[in-house]
Structure 1
Amino acid sequence: MSVSNENLKTISKNYQKNVDYFKVQLGVEPNYDVFCHEMIIGGKQAAFFVIQGLPDTEVLSDIFRHLSNLEREQIVPNTVEKLKKQHLAHFQLDTSDQTDKIIDAVLMGQTAIVVEGEPEAILLDLRKYAARGPEEPDLEKVVRGSRDGFTETLVFNTMLVRRRIRDRSLRMEAMQVGRRSKTDICVSYLADVANLDLVEEIKKMLRSIDIDGLPMAEKSVEELITPGSYWNPLPKVRYTERPDVAAQHLFEGHILIMVDTSPSIIILPTTYFHQMQHAEEYRQSPTIGVYLRWVRFFAIFVSVFLLPLWFLFSIEPSLLPQSLKYIGPSKVGKVPLIAQFIIAEGAVDVIRMAAIHTPAPLTTSLGLIAALMIGDLAVTIGLFAPEVVMYTAVAATAVFATPSYELGMAHRLARLFLLLMVYIIHLPGFILGSIAMILFAGFTKSFGVPYLWPLVPFNFAALKTVLLRTPVPAQNKRPSILHTQDITRQTVKSAPAFKPMTKEKKKQTKEKEKEK
């Protein structure tokens, strides 16, 4: 039987047999970036298996230089143990006799060392990924606050969280998903805070994933652990690229899922109102935070209901009081109103997609083309009513006030649904459509948590924290719906009142200064 067809489960006593097997399995011959470097260490043959570009080449060169100068008496007997403890001074070092584990380790960027006559291979983790800096994410910018953000490298992301949470109960549990991709995934939580039953359920779901790879990283993971909700547009998890937002959710008792190669971190479970919060509200004073939050709520309401309401009043002007009769188009245009709305909505999405694919120097030109040559011309020649263009622009702008991009897209679909309901059965359509959307969201759950909590089921104390940006001294309890082990975030204490210095005290202070 040839070496290529033989399946070695463990390291063989025959050095050449091991080397030939790993060369075939790793594809050393056909691959230009997979290397097998053979050398003599203390009179013994040794082979280094490595993928070009993944390990730190400077450190690897220093290791080669040191090992090539060793004498036989320095490494025998117990060669592997002596190499580990005396000559390979690195904290990320392991051994294994399982060939599959060794091959997987090399494919993940580690360096495998096979030594003649030894029953184990040494696995040295010298990975040094090419990665961009932790820049502020575009979707979650703040006026004042930290400017770092998650990157595509899992190690960097866990480091950013560790920097903010120096707690002994913080857990970063790693696993691999994907038969071929073997993507690294990290589940993070506070062991003495989070609901451990939910943590185990999440880890069980991740381990049960049986797929060849995760090319779309965190989005693939989301769909694989939320079965049965593929056609539900409401996001079942929250995404963030901000380490401070991720840390805040860990303190509340949420669970994080970090996927290598993605800067977006999954936060679960989540609710509708979680998706509507933004870090900017907590970077300002509570009063300004409340104002910003209510402006955001209003913008979200406008993004969903403005167009359907205006369309309803346009086709049913009798619903308006006399003082609001000016609402509605003076000229409908050559195209029916419902068609105008659908075309306008589609045009906004086309412009959005074109802006993503347009080179940065040309984005200004794209905006001018969309606004002047398309929108203005459509109104001028009478195809569109001016109000349709204006209200569509207002609704499209309001969508971007939603912190969660995924929830904003769900609101866009909700707006189209209401427009069609109004077109079909007018006022009853608007009422029934609104009720249907609320019921749909009410029956939705995110990993057992009702999506509209604390509105459904009703919890007044929690609802206050949703409607108002509470001051930090008042943030005493964790969300009860998460069923955390520790519900208290801080002990309620009244700050000592400021007392101005009396004249007698000032006099005593001056006398002490003179004595000194």
Structure 2
Amino acid sequence: MVEKDTKKLSASFEENIKYMNQVLPVKESFDLIRRDIVIGGKNAVFYYIDGFIKDEVMLKIMDSFFSVTPEDMPEDAEGFIQKKVPYVEVDITEYFDDVIRNVLSGPAALFIDGYSECVILDCRTYPARSVDEPDKDKSLRGSRDGFVETIVFNTALMRRRIRDPHLVMEMTEAGQFSRTDIAVCYMSDRVDKALLDNLKQRIGDVKLGDLRMNQQSLAEALFKRKWFNPFPKWKFTERPDTAAACLLEGKVVILVDNSPSAMILPTSILDMIEEANDYYFPTVTAVYLKITRALITFATVFFTPLYLLFMQNLEWLPEAFEFVAVRDTVNIPLIFQFLLLELSIDGLRLAAMNTPTMLSTPLSVIAGIVMGEFSVQSGWFNSETMRFI
């Protein structure tokens, strides 16, 4: 849970500015800007982060402020935003904690002499990449967009697909220092209320200094798991159409700012083997593809230890599978051959990730051929083991 400062703004304009200058490193940080202006004959101060503000929007807003005369100046901040602020995303607050959090998140804070509240202008823009299709979650049909690192863009991608008033996106935050934005998305008429309440309570009880790994830090904090469990407790997706489909199924989608993927709850092993194509193909085709992925997943987990078991007990091996039996004698036991090959494959994968794209494919092919040929001829590995891997 993020502890909030309950200190309120003072009725004195000078005291408010003095406190802001003490908390924010205005002189030390080049990107933290303080802008002094006069609005309707009253002193005013802007605080904002350079790089987060839309210059064109701020230019038009300040141009309208300069045209305000002392006679037209409202008596309070509420009247000021209603009559003199030509912008849609505007709010007022009376707490310094909200002001500082907003300034560091991107919106501009405006203090005006004579007002005991601060005006918040959310005219921010974040550096963001285009919403291209994810590399690891492609589909043969359907849309070609994907989540990005900006949470507002991600919620808009789902809102574009579900135009229903029951779609609720609650915004909260976690991390005492990072104050990372978290959006809990659900369909109010379909979600499991007990699950939703439990999830929101867990997020509220999170006690972390920061979410340095964004989504993964939140996942580990919400549901502790044993260190020897390699299986995920969440379903992750980078596709907004998949997240929208899960919302319509009554599930909860969690978005974390700075993370280009969504967490989906509740989940099961059947959800883990789903992909976007299941939603775009006919039922028969989708079921066939899902069964195929389930069999491959089962084979990936169990075939290697099963093969090792049969090789250690050849009398159990059926005659139809005699061709897979290891006949040659080598210097390394079979179990260590598998471990070394797995380590070698991971090493090749790591090398491919850190190699320029134009070189990664040919080098990977050459390395695989040379490694396979050398390993068999050297007597370290059986040819059957190489074929099995």
TM bracket, shorter-chain basis: over 0.9
For the residue of structure 1 that corresponds to 2:163, the secondary structure is: coil
Q: Where in structure 2 are the equivalents of 1:413-492 lying within 5 Å?
A: none
The CA distance in 2 between the partners of 1:80 and 1:8, in whole Å, is: 20
2:295 matched to which residue of 1?
Answer: 298
The one-character-per-residue Cα deviations of 1:151-202 (angstroms, maximum 9, x if unpaired) are 1111111111111111111110000111110000011111111111211111
For the residue of structure 1 that corresponds to 2:323, the secondary structure is: coil
For the residue of structure 2 that corresponds to 1:245, the secondary structure is: helix
The CA distance in 1 between the partners of 2:92 and 2:188, in whole Å, is: 29
Work out whether residues 40 and 68 of structure 1, in 8 Å CA contact, stay in contact via their aligned partners in 2: yes
2:56 matched to which residue of 1?
Answer: 58
The CA distance in 2 between the partners of 1:190 and 1:229, in whole Å, is: 32
For the residue of structure 2 that corresponds to 1:118, the secondary structure is: coil
Offset at residue 376 of structure 1 (A)? 2.1
The one-character-per-residue Cα deviations of 1:318-364 (angstroms, maximum 9, x if unpaired) are 11233432221231322221111110011112222232333322212
Offset at residue 34 of structure 1 (A)? 0.2
Work out whether residues 218 and 259 of structure 1, in 8 Å CA contact, stay in contact via their aligned partners in 2: yes
1:15 matched to which residue of 2?
Answer: 13
Equivalent of residue 351 in structure 1, options 348, 353, 371: 348
1:514 matched to which residue of 2?
Answer: none
2:166 matched to which residue of 1?
Answer: 169
- The 1:291–1:228 alpha-carbon spacing in structure 2 relative to 1, beyond 3 Å, is closer
- The 1:333–1:9 alpha-carbon spacing in structure 2 relative to 1, beyond 3 Å, is same
The CA distance in 1 between the partners of 2:226 and 2:184, in whole Å, is: 22
1:335 matched to which residue of 2?
Answer: 332
2:322 matched to which residue of 1?
Answer: 325
The CA distance in 1 between the partners of 2:265 and 2:40, in whole Å, is: 53
For the residue of structure 1 that corresponds to 2:165, the secondary structure is: coil
Q: Which amino acid aligns with 1:29?
A: K
The one-character-per-residue Cα deviations of 1:102-121 (angstroms, maximum 9, x if unpaired) are 11111111100001121111
The CA distance in 1 between the partners of 2:167 and 2:321, in whole Å, is: 58
- The 1:273–1:8 alpha-carbon spacing in structure 2 relative to 1, beyond 3 Å, is closer
1:39 aligns with 2:37: yes
1:211 aligns with 2:208: yes
1:90 aligns with 2:87: yes
- The 1:8–1:289 alpha-carbon spacing in structure 2 relative to 1, beyond 3 Å, is closer
The CA distance in 1 between the partners of 2:230 and 2:373, in whole Å, is: 33
1:243 matched to which residue of 2?
Answer: 240
Spell out structure 1 runs of 4+ moving beyond 4 A. Answer: none
- The 1:71–1:338 alpha-carbon spacing in structure 2 relative to 1, beyond 3 Å, is same
Work out whether residues 132 and 144 of structure 2, in 8 Å CA contact, stay in contact via their aligned partners in 1: yes
1:288 aligns with 2:285: yes
- The 1:355–1:169 alpha-carbon spacing in structure 2 relative to 1, beyond 3 Å, is same
- The 1:63–1:321 alpha-carbon spacing in structure 2 relative to 1, beyond 3 Å, is closer
1:112 aligns with 2:109: yes
Work out whether residues 64 and 86 of structure 2, in 8 Å CA contact, stay in contact via their aligned partners in 1: no
Offset at residue 287 of structure 1 (A)? 2.6
Work out whether residues 135 and 147 of structure 1, in 8 Å CA contact, stay in contact via their aligned partners in 2: yes
2:75 matched to which residue of 1?
Answer: 78
Q: Which runs of 5+ in 1 are unaligned?
A: 1-6, 393-516
Work out whether residues 110 and 118 of structure 2, in 8 Å CA contact, stay in contact via their aligned partners in 1: yes
Q: Which amino acid aligns with 2:53?
A: P
Work out whether residues 9 and 16 of structure 2, in 8 Å CA contact, stay in contact via their aligned partners in 1: yes
Equivalent of residue 279 in structure 1, options 268, 276, 281: 276
Offset at residue 288 of structure 1 (A)? 2.3
Work out whether residues 111 and 124 of structure 1, in 8 Å CA contact, stay in contact via their aligned partners in 2: yes
Q: Which amino acid aligns with 1:65?
A: D
The CA distance in 2 between the partners of 1:92 and 1:170, in whole Å, is: 21
Work out whether residues 78 and 92 of structure 2, in 8 Å CA contact, stay in contact via their aligned partners in 1: no
Work out whether residues 23 and 36 of structure 1, in 8 Å CA contact, stay in contact via their aligned partners in 2: no
2:224 matched to which residue of 1?
Answer: 227
Equivalenced residues, count: 385
The CA distance in 2 between the partners of 1:291 and 1:191, in whole Å, is: 33
The CA distance in 1 between the partners of 2:6 and 2:306, in whole Å, is: 70
Work out whether residues 324 and 384 of structure 2, in 8 Å CA contact, stay in contact via their aligned partners in 1: no
Q: Which amino acid aligns with 1:58?
A: E
Q: Where in structure 2 are the equivalents of 1:335-414 lying within 5 Å?
A: 335-392=332-389
The CA distance in 2 between the partners of 1:15 and 1:290, in whole Å, is: 66
1:399 matched to which residue of 2?
Answer: none
Over aligned residues, Cα RMSD in angstroms?
Answer: 1.8
Work out whether residues 313 and 327 of structure 1, in 8 Å CA contact, stay in contact via their aligned partners in 2: no
The CA distance in 1 between the partners of 2:228 and 2:219, in whole Å, is: 13
The one-character-per-residue Cα deviations of 1:25-67 (angstroms, maximum 9, x if unpaired) are 1110110100100011111110000011112111111112221
Work out whether residues 340 and 384 of structure 1, in 8 Å CA contact, stay in contact via their aligned partners in 2: yes
The CA distance in 1 between the partners of 2:134 and 2:250, in whole Å, is: 24
Identity of aligned residues (%): 36
- The 1:175–1:321 alpha-carbon spacing in structure 2 relative to 1, beyond 3 Å, is closer
The CA distance in 2 between the partners of 1:307 and 1:197, in whole Å, is: 41
1:127 matched to which residue of 2?
Answer: 124
The CA distance in 2 between the partners of 1:256 and 1:281, in whole Å, is: 19
For the residue of structure 1 that corresponds to 2:254, the secondary structure is: strand
1:449 matched to which residue of 2?
Answer: none
- The 1:45–1:320 alpha-carbon spacing in structure 2 relative to 1, beyond 3 Å, is same
1:442 matched to which residue of 2?
Answer: none
The CA distance in 2 between the partners of 1:68 and 1:55, in whole Å, is: 19
The CA distance in 1 between the partners of 2:31 and 2:61, in whole Å, is: 20
The CA distance in 2 between the partners of 1:270 and 1:26, in whole Å, is: 43
The CA distance in 2 between the partners of 1:254 and 1:322, in whole Å, is: 48
Larger deviation, residues 318-327 vs 198-207: 318-327
For the residue of structure 2 that corresponds to 1:139, the secondary structure is: coil
The one-character-per-residue Cα deviations of 1:459-489 (angstroms, maximum 9, x if unpaired) are xxxxxxxxxxxxxxxxxxxxxxxxxxxxxxx
